[in-house]
Amino acid sequence: MTTLSRRSLLAAALTAPILPTAALAQAWTPTRPMRMVVPFPPGGATDVVARILAERMQAKLGQPVTVENRTGAAGNVGVENVVRSAPDGYTTLMGTTGTLTINPHLYSNMTFNPVTDLAGISMAFTTDHVVIVNPAVQAQTVQELVALLKARPGQLSFGSGGNGSSTHLVPELFRLAAGVEMQHVPYRGSAPALNDTVAGNVQLMLDQLPSALPMIQAGRVRALAVTGPRRSALLPNVPTMAEAGLAEAQATSWGAVMAPAGTPAPAIERLNAVIRESLAEPATQQRLAAAGADAVSSTPAELAALIRSESEKWGRVIREARITVN
């Protein structure tokens, strides 16, 4: 899989010097309010990060940066709104794994192509997923869960935020890596799927860490493994998939700031510099960490490479798992 190389590449980007880029980018300065579109409802990890980042961008650019939630069609409504906006630097998108690299493989009727109709500015964050089970499930480890799934093929079910969502695709990656069968139960969002996992109506979920964490800490679900390349500081006693013997199930959800294609290079450069400066601030990193997200920045070229790699990865999962959307 590509996650290790991706994380090391992006970690290097975080520590790369930013002053030359910042100096170059001074040629573009916004003179009116800006907006950052989030293609999901308020309160989720993507929205939380967008608001923290927009606050820091506003302080550095001297103009209001308003977060605008435009939801619908698995994020496609918000993305299309940005695609159709003027490429002048005043509109940005907090894109995600799903909207940028998964949806193009699922929705044949999309009227835009994220690769050609958007310009990457910078990575913004990553979040791991965590394997959680209802306490009644007789599995204390991922190895025990795999054994249980193999002993009862197709009898246990997992909840997700809907067909094609990251909480659907990451479990499918786990299923393929472990060679097990389980039933998929899609919900209208991750929150009701998590609630039904707590209630025992579905037995397990691979939820994003930020949303699952309160239920884990309250003992309402049991955490078996995280999907990132290293253990989470928020769950230091929970092993990674690789430590559990399933390195091929490693996966990380992420968000990146994008602009409409054709946005002038000076605007891209200035916004990239401001985002990288903001994400390098210890206070910003701490605020994101408290929400279960890691601050990760990049150059536009590194982001483009990541999007290509992730598109190949999730396209393969969709094909091999024969995933379709209704």
| pLDDT of residue 1 exceeding 90 | no
CA-to-CA distance for 11 and 177, rounded, in angstroms? Answer: 26
CA-to-CA distance for 134 and 143, rounded, in angstroms? Answer: 16
Decide: pTM greater than 0.75. Answer: yes
CA-to-CA distance for 2 and 9, rounded, in angstroms? Answer: 11
pLDDT tens per residue, range 43-54:
777 888 999 999
Average pLDDT over residues 293-312: 95
CATH architecture of 3-127+252-320: 3-Layer(aba) Sandwich (3.40)
The answer to which of 1-5, 10-14, 73-77, 286-290 has the lowest mean pLDDT is 1-5
Judge contact between 24 and 270, C-beta under 8 A: no
What is the band of 26 on the pLDDT scale with cuts at 50, 70, 90? Answer: low
Average pLDDT over residues 68-86: 94
| pLDDT of residue 67 exceeding 70 | yes
Task: Locate the domains of the chain by residue range.
Answer: 3-127+252-320, 128-249
Are domains 3-127+252-320 and 128-249 of this chain identical in fold? yes
Q: What is the pLDDT of residue 280?
A: 97
pLDDT tens per residue, range 147-206:
999 999 999 999 998 888 889 999 999 999 999 999 999 987 788 999 999 999 999 999
| pLDDT of residue 3 exceeding 80 | no
What is the CATH topology of the domain spanning 128-249? Answer: D-Maltodextrin-Binding Protein; domain 2 (3.40.190)
- The proportion of the chain whose per-residue pLDDT surpasses 90, expressed as a percent, equals 76
| pLDDT of residue 109 exceeding 70 | yes
Q: How far is CA 88 from CA 7, 24, 84, 265, in A?
A: 31, 18, 12, 10
Of the candidates 250, 242, 291, the one whose C-alpha atom is nearest the C-alpha of residue 7 is 250
CA-to-CA distance for 50 and 190, rounded, in angstroms? Answer: 19
| pLDDT of residue 267 exceeding 80 | yes
| pLDDT of residue 13 exceeding 50 | no
The answer to which of 16-30, 77-91, 192-206 has the lowest mean pLDDT is 16-30
What is the band of 16 on the pLDDT scale with cuts at 50, 70, 90? Answer: very low
